[in-house]
Structure 1
Amino acid sequence: MLTVFKRKSIWLAILVGTILIGLFAFAQVGARSSVKIRHLPVALVVADHGTQAKKVAHQLRRTNSESDAKIKWITVKKTADLTDGFANSRYYGALVIHNGFSADLQRQANYLKGQLITQKLTAMATKQPAVAMTAPFQQQKQLAKALTAQTPQAANVTLYVSQGNNITVANLLTTALPQLVTHLNQTLTGKYQQVANKANLTLTAANWSQLQTPIKSNLVKRNPVSEKQLSGMAPFIITILCWIGCLVSSLINWRDHISHESRRTDGRLSMTSVTSQLITGLLIAGGTALAIYSFVKLIYGMPIQDSTQFIWLTGGISFVFYLIQTAVLDLAGLKGWPLLLVIWIGSMGVITFVPQMLSNFYRQFVYNVTPIHFAYELINNQLYLQNAPITGAALTVMMIIGLSAIVLMYSSTLIKGRQPATEK
């Protein structure tokens, strides 16, 4: 019985299991444990040209130079430009300082100044009643009345969070942006309290309430993602369906060609057979796209803005995935199968994050090189982002990958095999 431990297959199984665990740990635990928010791009629109607005904008922009800053402010001229910025993923949220912001803060300062003058005049009139009849006293009284005549209003800012760009980032900004406004409020309120305490000013609760929230914010969700859209997970799931569908289909199709198509004496496929693989691959990709659409749209009712575009896009992505996997099989046979698993496992841990959340290593050597990442970006744009272009860098990269895979497939026919193939 113990002789079983002398078999190499037992130790090989343990080794393979260890390697797979290491790959999963590298992709999932390693990537996620190193996630840190760094310089998330957020638009800053300053529609007010007053002094107070410029001071607040300058205070916010100062954080851009900090190496551990969570937010990097991107200056945008007007609110109307935000739609295109979100569509092109130049930023994931925005803070808009509206026109009249400086005037509202100035009225708050004037109101406090008026209360200080009123208290001072009241004290003077109590000690020296005759002073109240003098012209300077009356002038100060009129000034205080003018400064406090208008109840101060909170200065308005609007916070935008684009859920469609990335749901994880959207959730972070939904908390982080209001916290920034809270910090600004605490700073301004602290200054008001310091002035009041220095002058021993006593304000009623009603009067002080006007100065407790100098800035009022309104949070607006752009490119909203509903539960019907799988709460932001639809692009990830659909990308995986494209990969898995073609992973299995490419293997079956490759084995079928090995068994029935013309081959050279060394077992490699002929160019005619490779062309046949391309033709059948188009059929497989089309079937994969229609199957995905049938399940996510027709059966489960997930909203899709443009069904025709969705089918063409998922079909194209599936075809590129099919080409990658078939190229590996044509070049290396079943021995190349682990490479496909490495691509698959490595991609899963990073594609749901944005580059600014990943460490330099995972961003440069995993996120930026995995084809699944570019497919995810295309599907995310199609499903979630208003006015997002399908054409762009991600589509260009996918086309280059697909063409490279075709070249490798035909190149495999030029490689001399060492011995006839025995795979059936």
Structure 2
Amino acid sequence: MIAPFVSGSPLSGDGPRVLVFSERNVIARKWHALQYEFEDVGTEVGLVDVVAPRVLERSPVNRVFYRISRSGGRDGIREKSIEELTITDDYDLFFAFFAFPSDIAHIQRLKGWRRRCKKAVCFIGEHYTAENDQNRRYFELLRELGFDHVYIFNTAPKEAIASIVGCPVEFMGHGVDGFRFSPYPLVPKRSVDLYQFGRNSDVTHAAALDMAKRDGLFYIYDTIFNVPLEDYLAHRNLVAETMKRSRYFFAYRPGENLGRAQQDDPLSSRYFEAIGGGAILLGSRPGAKEYDECFPWPDATIEIPFEAHDLREIIADLDAQPERIATARMNNIVQTLRTLDWVYRWARILDRAGLPVTEAMRHRMAALERLADMAEERETAALERLG
């Protein structure tokens, strides 16, 4: 848990001031770690102040409040029982990353922010067309609060959302902390043969387990799922350190085994994490056109059947193509550093809001480019040796 208010704004006062509403003190599951990493990068580059209310102690009064809010009271919107905070400073921009539309209700516990912030934007991490009706009230709240721009990860319901919020709605991809996920400059040995976490294929998982048992491959996979995280940063570091040591990672279209996503066929954050660590991503490409916007290079995903009974043969065939694998790995590593770091998402948000990037953001971009150049040079040399 961090303090309710953490400042990262430029001390010189010559850059834009951004207020970020964070839920890191309220809830942290595995899928929240990436959004808190996004916020952290904003703080590291001197861009944002983070306001992170805490959960209220469950006094008798607060327990009643919590039961009322959970039952759909307070204008039909469920809120967590979190502390109320008042914003007293002025900002150029307000930003919030909502994992789900239902989280939008939580900003009602933040007082004075709208008159203190010139513009307001948010990013909604997960929402599907099949959920339009159940989430309508949360989108109406964005309109009532006067949001100026809404970013979404799944664009299938874009028009429906735009008709409710009354402001521009556009796609924004997920990302990674490029320095955390990149195997460079240390380049650890890829000692993990197969890696998988999150939703999976039972058949492919069984095949991977059999390869671990019979062939001695090292296979890492989830054994626990929807549980609270004591430390989101420790989890994010573990994912990154494992990914940069993995040869192959499994990821599938959410529509493969998530019913509410089937109609939309959207992206998944797993693609960004696997590619960011330089693992070879095995699985399926989503139909969303934004996939090509984020990963416009060959073999970003090498497609295999969702039920890969013949996984042993698939891996053997890929291992027999070292130049193809080395090229895919190089592209994943280099392009992540040049396009998928969170700083590029912050730059886009600022640009749309008519605000300049900070000097620290420019320094980070330059450092990412230097690391990308190093990776490209070394990986190209390794490729030439294979030839």
| Shorter-chain TM-score range | under 0.3
Q: Answer 1 or 2: which has greater helix percent.
A: 1
Question: Could you state the TM-score of these two structures normalised by the residue count of structure 2?
Answer: 0.25
TM-score w.r.t. structure 1 length?
0.24
Q: Which has the higher strand share?
A: 2
